[in-house]
Structure 1
């Protein structure tokens, strides 16, 4: 069910969180090449003499909206599939930006200048401040004589306000060589306030010249730079350039602000903290993780500081008035290594060890504090992997060691913290599995009559897994052994959630195919849950 293309990891002994962090910190000395040096001399300003072609080939994006601000992003790359985007390996190019109240830019409200520095892949991150709450804006960039496309964004509602409605999109898992990003073209046309992307923005695998299941037309082919697994900073930068060259992805970014978090494939399949899938030497893997984290930061609309070596804090909190609080989690960087060699395995003492963590102690405490201070109607956790239990059969079923099922003590600590803080409307958003699932979060999954603590919306992939099927062969059996599941499907697509003070409506959008362009979108099912009454409402028999 995970949809991961990687193989199971050989069995390894679990190590404690503190020991792993010690190893991480000592190995960090090997990755200083990825850290900016304090007082570094300013690089030469290149001006526009190097911009012979349109530098905005990777589009524009916005993200992490606040009531008075939003992050604006672009990355200069006139020849995106060449190292450094076809630009010099060192230097700075000035980029101007502006924000307007209308798409014709006749009412510009903010403007400024930013530097696109080769050290950061010629990326630009602007924290545009001084905006009005709950408003739609348009933005664009200029470099030399070139002007980017215009993007549309929206600020968060004012602190303390009570919005009547919030509409959000949920997406994840877009493997370039397993299908077209058609779902994102439909997502771009949705009426949304914000999009949450829950990981696997890129994949690290080698891609053949015909782009796998995309099957590029005869005469078109990808360069050899994509024909090997990503390891170096240049590899990861090129892989983001490949994905961002897709017009549907560009349209979805230009249409809505995005809030992003990573999963495993932004680095390597099923990695855990400093442990690689194939148990590579720690120092070598942390060099790779440093490169991957750096490229991720360069290519995302993030307000956060750039990573320091192999470490980057990605978990953060966004509030949308009193209607919703979003605690965006990171379940990769701090986790205990998966038990029993990864994959779907029988649970046992190793997986059930109460010391095991998926979030790490600091993030767990941060989340618990956020629960206690929340005044929101809906407390939403955008994160990566399936939260609720998923059995494959009634008796002696294996469970996914890569998801929360492999960390049941950590799941219990999270639910206990929510209950102690009297969080009534808990909503967990998940990706990773390449399927649509709607699940009630039970206090005790072995007892259907035990209290329901919230709902989980697990969204399918944009392209990963190719076309999929609407009703998988295990549809009846999976729902039978997991009565807390309200919906299950295996097509590609995304989810739209509408939050109001009284209810949440969840619309599961699906596409019939993605291995060729142009697929239509439809709503496979719609479910609701009422504020103050956790759990999905089931249709009457």
Structure 2
């Protein structure tokens, strides 16, 4: 595939946003010519996602004043016509699809175009226009035909970008690495009011507005994040598959149970927390390149789904928040909580668990990859054999649920199972077992945990953690910020842990802290 530079994606040679006549591919004359918008409305960038063999979703959201308190981005109180086009080349000369959508006030002037009729396994480019204003150009891809096995896939994954804790340099470095697919595993934004989640030395940037609990608040916060140029670059380089974790709604929420009972956060009753979830889900859909099948229905929104990459890989994108049982004994680390082993406890809910297990049974792909949120492998902080000290928010708090999923891929003879994880703001690489208490239990899969983009600040750079001494399946640890690049082929999955030395000031270089290989048909991680 041809390379396209970050500068080309963000500017596309379009000067000050005026419509430029591109030979053979000028925008069709349409109602979008007379939108009446006098200044650039594409301040939140563009994005694509949900690739399938014959299409994808392209997205934008119009805003003239992204931080407007009403959450509507300073846009007029009316619908606005937006033209779009898709081309086979970065110069937009060979246009293969075009049309007009309306950015509607009831969805905060967001636009979701679900493309069909594209060719499988292809690179495409897209842009939007309203009036004389034209958006940056984005690059996207269709997935291969379902029967095809592509030679390779470059996939990057990331999580946890707290705006106040640093600059999103890692997103721009990810874009420069030119992946073909990006997975975001949650905590895309944080709900906190300014200054309530502070790192050592003070936050380098501030949140706008109070803690998010209303629709206008969530819209405003998403707009603040989407205004970041580094994040826009990462969205413009490749299609994304997104799932939320907790902070897109409320810290450590579980199903209809908030973390606390603060009335100021709409957390004091189930009904009021449902109102908060409804607002958060609405804003999340408005701001993500999701299919119409994910349009929320009140306080419910289905985001678990499987995206096939030909016969190379299945990406099972999961939701470990909306259907889970409440955390036990608080949300943090607890010792000897016997109830965590209960057979009826679930982090996925029955319907999602059945969907995933059926997906394993029906899989014909080389790699079955779970894109999910919280730490999957057992991680016991206590060395004593008769005491366990584990996180109630991760899969350790739902041990039977984890065993059923793991045994499910073993029973289905899944060829290569890989779990991708975010949430913990550190890099980890782990071997996975059905029974972690049995030293002879075989390795049956691998877990790759990405650190945060910024959350908790610069990090110490440490590469050892004491718990690895008595948890021998935990193979790698690192405390830097960054993301993970993977190269997936039919023979192996290679993972590069890409890290930055600092994020509290912009411009850090990126380097590879460690690399691991998972060989086809060979269980467990191998250092590269």
TM-score by length of 2: 0.89
Indicate the residue corresponding to 2:509 in structure 1.
520
Say whether residues 1:75 and 2:61 are aligned partners: yes
Q: Which has the higher contact order (CA 8 A, sep 6+)?
A: 1
Deviation at 1:145, TM superposition (A): 1.2
Deviation string, structure 1 residues 412-456 (Cα, Å, up to 9, x no partner): 110121112111310000000000000000122123331111000
The 5 A counterparts of 1:198-347 are: 198-208=185-195, 213=202, 215=204, 226-279=208-261, 280-303=268-291, 304-347=293-336
In 1, distance between residues paired with 2:350 and 2:210? 36
What number of residue pairs does the alignment pair up?
485
Say whether residues 1:405 and 2:387 are aligned partners: no
Select which of 17, 40, 51 maps to 1:54: 40
In 2, distance between residues paired with 1:306 and 1:514? 34
SS in 1 for 2:311: coil
Q: Which runs of 4+ in 1 moved over 6 A?
A: 209-212
Indicate the residue corresponding to 1:36 in structure 2.
none
Deviation at 1:214, TM superposition (A): 5.3
Deviation string, structure 1 residues 91-123 (Cα, Å, up to 9, x no partner): 211111000011111100011111110101100
User: Aligned in 2, Cα 1:538/1:190: closer, same or farther, shift over 3 Å?
Assistant: closer
User: Aligned in 2, Cα 1:416/1:134: closer, same or farther, shift over 3 Å?
Assistant: same
SS in 2 for 1:85: coil
In 1, distance between residues paired with 2:316 and 2:288? 18
SS in 2 for 1:394: coil
User: Aligned in 2, Cα 1:431/1:477: closer, same or farther, shift over 3 Å?
Assistant: same
Say whether residues 1:511 and 2:500 are aligned partners: yes
In 2, distance between residues paired with 1:480 and 1:209? 35
In 2, distance between residues paired with 1:57 and 1:347? 50
Deviation string, structure 1 residues 324-349 (Cα, Å, up to 9, x no partner): 01110000000000011220012423
Q: Is the 8 A contact 1:136 1:155 kept in 2?
A: yes
Select which of 429, 432, 435 maps to 1:444: 435
SS in 1 for 2:341: coil
Deviation string, structure 1 residues 337-394 (Cα, Å, up to 9, x no partner): 0011220012423211111111100000111111111100000000000100112131
In 1, distance between residues paired with 2:227 and 2:198? 13
Deviation at 1:397, TM superposition (A): 3.3
The 5 A counterparts of 1:111-260 are: 111-208=98-195, 213=202, 215=204, 226-260=208-242
In 2, distance between residues paired with 1:60 and 1:514? 24
Indicate the residue corresponding to 1:31 in structure 2.
none
In 2, distance between residues paired with 1:148 and 1:398? 51
Q: Is the 8 A contact 1:430 1:457 kept in 2?
A: yes
Indicate the residue corresponding to 1:219 in structure 2.
none
In 1, distance between residues paired with 2:310 and 2:130? 36
User: Aligned in 2, Cα 1:239/1:211: closer, same or farther, shift over 3 Å?
Assistant: farther
In 1, distance between residues paired with 2:131 and 2:295? 26
Say whether residues 1:532 and 2:525 are aligned partners: no
Indicate the residue corresponding to 1:65 in structure 2.
51
In 2, distance between residues paired with 1:214 and 1:519? 17
Deviation at 1:209, TM superposition (A): 12
Indicate the residue corresponding to 1:95 in structure 2.
82
Deviation string, structure 1 residues 191-237 (Cα, Å, up to 9, x no partner): 31100000000000012599985535xxxxx6xx8242111000000
In 2, distance between residues paired with 1:164 and 1:100? 24
User: Aligned in 2, Cα 1:49/1:107: closer, same or farther, shift over 3 Å?
Assistant: closer
Q: Is the 8 A contact 1:47 1:93 kept in 2?
A: no
Say whether residues 1:394 and 2:380 are aligned partners: no
SS in 1 for 2:508: coil
In 2, distance between residues paired with 1:538 and 1:528? 6
Deviation at 1:471, TM superposition (A): 1.0
Deviation string, structure 1 residues 305-326 (Cα, Å, up to 9, x no partner): 4211100001001000111011
TM-score by length of 1: 0.87
Q: Is the 8 A contact 1:357 1:410 kept in 2?
A: yes
CA RMSD of aligned residues (A): 1.8
Q: Is the 8 A contact 1:75 1:116 kept in 2?
A: yes
In 2, distance between residues paired with 1:208 and 1:451? 46
Say whether residues 1:353 and 2:342 are aligned partners: yes
Indicate the residue corresponding to 1:18 in structure 2.
none
In 2, distance between residues paired with 1:94 and 1:132? 27
